[in-house]
Amino acid sequence: MHNHFNGLKTAALFGSIFALLLLVGYAIGGGSYIWLFALFGLATTAYTYWNSDKLAIKAMRAQPADPQQYPQMYRIVQELSQRANQPMPRLYVSPTSAPNAFATGRNPQNAAVCCTEGILQLLDERELRGVLGHELMHVYNRDILTGSVAGAVAGIISSVASIGLWFGGRDRNPIAAIAVALLAPIAAMVIQMSISRTREYDADEDGAELTGDPLALASALRKLESGVARAPLEPTPQLQNASHMMIANPFSRADVSKFLSTHPPMDERIARLEGMAGGPHRF
């Protein structure tokens, strides 16, 4: 859907995180066990990917959106889906005042888009259209697969490294095993965050192209930044696993470091969108 070079960056990051998984396997279990780590990674990734929609919807306690109760949301998604020549996803609404939205599902035929009650109250129709265009592009660009794979592999690396620190590898090469066990989870997390940020930039650009209105999304992001600050979500384990899917980081600034955030800084995203429209604007 896009003609920029972030796809190459994502591929390189994926290669890095899988190489890290194999390195952990080698340091802890030796070369003869690498294939076990690779198979484990593939199996966990497949499960997460196949059930990504159910997991995210459940984490946000979302319910199917009634077309009569949310006609604006239905109208916008239907229009943009037809414009992209893609099937219309299932629509959900989460009963929370925290303003946010996300898309999930393993492909366009099995996708879902969820808005919180907070975002539906916060944004006007033009801004909501910008947000929904962004979320639909996550589906069309297969970003749910990308995020599921990155998150699953990063989780495997952390778990295996922790197990190896206490139960394996130290008799064979204690210094290497301990170093890998301590540093690998941090490296995996950094790579996962880099992948997520890259996909957010892509969805911003592609969503703006789909709607033909980059300033609408820029305006929505400004409102979301202040809206999340007023009503952040509690960083529970379930929500932490789903936070990378959301258009804005749902947690307060005190709960997330800029350098470990799954989302690029809002001011950078807004500047890029304004650049697409020819420069900064007031909203």
Which residues are tagged catalytic?
A: 135
Q: Could you list the beta-strand ranges (E) of 41-158.
A: 63-64, 90-94, 101-105, 111-116
Q: Positive or negative CA dihedral for 33, 37, 43, 44?
A: positive
CA distance 99 to 247: 10
Pair 152, 38: CB distance under 8 Å: no
d(CA 103, CA 91): 9
Q: Dihedrals φ, ψ of 211, to 5°?
A: -85, -20
Q: How far is residue 84's CA from residue 133's CA, in Å, rounded to a whole number?
A: 10
Distance CA 24, CA 31 (A): 10
CA–CA separation, 64 and 124 (whole Å): 21
